[in-house]
Amino acid sequence: MIVYEVKPHDDLFSISQRYNVPVNKIISDNKLSHPEDLVVGQTLVLLPEDTFHTVRRGESLYSIAKNYGIPLKAVQAANPSLRPPYLLHPGMRLNIPMGADKDGAIVVNGYAFPGINHTLLTSTLPYLTYLSIFSAHARPDGSLIPVNDSALIQTARRARVAPMMVVTNMGEEGGFDSDLAHILLTDMDVQEAYIRNILQALKAKKYFGLDVDFEYVYPDDREAYNDFLRIISEKLKAGGYSLTTTLAPKKSDEQTGLLYTAHDYALHGEVSDHVILMTYEWGYTRGPAMAVSPLDQVRQVVEYAVSVIPGKKILMGIPNYGYDWTLPFEKGTSAQSLSNLEALERAHDIGVSIEYDKQAQAPTYTYFDEDGKKHEVWFGDARSIQAGLSLVRDFDLGGVSYWTVNRPFPQNWLVLNAMYEIKKVL
C-alpha cells in the first residue's frame, strides 16, 4: 500500500505510470468524484501488485521502501542479489513486494445508527468484527425504549459480524442524562428491572453481547457505576454474552470532571471483555477549531490506558467525521459537522489546497465564504488513518472502534485492510 499526497501539477496518468497502478483502479479504489481535477494535498491510496522500481539519482533502499510504504526488510528480502551496504545506482531495477505481511489480526467495532444506508452497511461489514447498534435508551423505571434494530442484526449476522446491543443513559429527549444514570445506578429496584430487560432483549433479538456507554455520570456515582458493571458482567457471563464498555479519554486516574471522574479505567478493564477509548472530540462542535483526534493527545490516552488495562482488551476510537468552524471562534457557536468525503469535496469546490499538520497527524485547510468570513476545516484522510492505526501495532492493542460507520469513507477501509487482518467471532 502507498499513501500518496497529491502535489501541484499531478495528474492520475503520471501517478499511474510512476507506481504501476492502472488509472481506473486508482479511481475505483478511492471512489474519486473528480479524477480529472485532483486537490493539492489530498491523499490517494495506491494498491499495486508486486512490481519493480527503477532507481533514480539520490535514492536509497530506505527511501524507496518508505515511498512504497513497506518494510525495509521486505525490499531487502525481495532483492537477494543486494548485499550490505546496499549501494544503488541510477537505472538499477528492484523488485518491490507489495504483498508484504500485515501487522496481525485485530478487532474492529463500528457504531451504526438504525437509519444507516443498506448499501453502505453491506459494503462496510466485511471490515468489522462487531456492529454496535446505537442505542437502547432507558426510562427512569428501568424499561427500555424500543430500537428499530432487527434489519441491522440480521444483515450483520449474515456477514459474520457480531451485533452488539448498546445501552446508554440518554434521556427520551436526547443527550446524556446524569440524573437518569443516577437513578439506574443507585435505585436497586430500578436497576434490577433494567438488567432484567437488557438480558431479555439480548436473547430475544439474538445479540452477541452488550456495550455499556454511560457518559456524564456524576462523580459521586463512580462506585455505584463500578458496582453496576460488576453485577451486569456476571449476569452476561452466565448467559454467554460479551461485555464492552466505553471510556472517556483520560490521561490519568486523577483527571476529574463530569465526563471523566466516574470512569474507572482499571475496573472497566477488569470486568469487561473490551473497552472502547473515546479518543475523539478534542475538536468538537461547540469548541474552538482543532483536530478532532490529534494523535499526540490520543497517544497520551493510550499510554495511560495500557498501564492499567490489558492492551488486547483495548479498542482505540477513530472518528469518521470532521468539522468546519467559522472564525474567529465565539463561545456558544457551533461548527458544521462534515463527513471526510464532504470535507474533501468542499476543498475541491472552493479551490483550496489541503495542508497536513504533523503534530496532530490530521489534514486541514482554511477558506473564506461568500460573506468574507474565514473558515477552518479539520477532517480525516488516509494519512491520519494510517497514523492512528499504527498506534494499535505500537501498543499491541486489541483493535479499533469507529464512530460511526454511517458515513462513507472508502480510503479508511483500504488502509485498514492493507495493514491488518480483521478478526471474526462468528
Decide: residue 296, CB within 10 A, 0-12 exposed, 13-18 middle, 19+ buried. exposed
Q: Which of 215, 234, 254, 345 is catalytic?
A: 215
**Alpha helices, H only, 100-221:** 118-124, 150-158, 178-186, 188-205
Q: How far apart are CA 409 and CA 29, in angstroms?
A: 11
Contact 254, 264 (CB under 8 A): no
How is the chain split among helix, strand and coil, in percent rounded to 5? 35, 20, 40
Output the CA torsion sign for 346, 351, 352, 356. Answer: positive
E strands present in 214-358: 242-247, 274-277, 314-319, 322-326, 336-338, 355-357
| DSSP string of 121-134, one letter each residue | HHHHGGG-SEEEEE
Cell numbers that stand for 122 in this block? 453491506
State the DSSP H helix or E strand holding residue 351, giving kind and residue range, or none if neither: none
Q: How far apart are CA 374 and CA 33, in angstroms?
A: 26
Q: How far apart are CA 96 and CA 99, in angstroms?
A: 9
What is the C-alpha R_g of the chain?
23
- Check if 215 is active-site: yes
Is the preceding peptide bond at 328 cis, omega within 30 degrees of 0? yes
Cell numbers that stand for 145 in this block? 425504549
The DSSP secondary-structure symbol of 361 reads T
The separation between CA 318 and the C-alpha centre of its own chain, rounded to angstroms, equals 2
Contact 168, 135 (CB under 8 A): yes
Strand partners, 366: 376
Q: How many CB atoms lie within 10 A of CB 185?
A: 25
For the chain, how many residues are written? Answer: 426
Strand partners, 4: 44
Strand partners, 403: 319
- Select from 257, 134, 255 the least CA-distant residue to 265: 255
Active site residues: 215
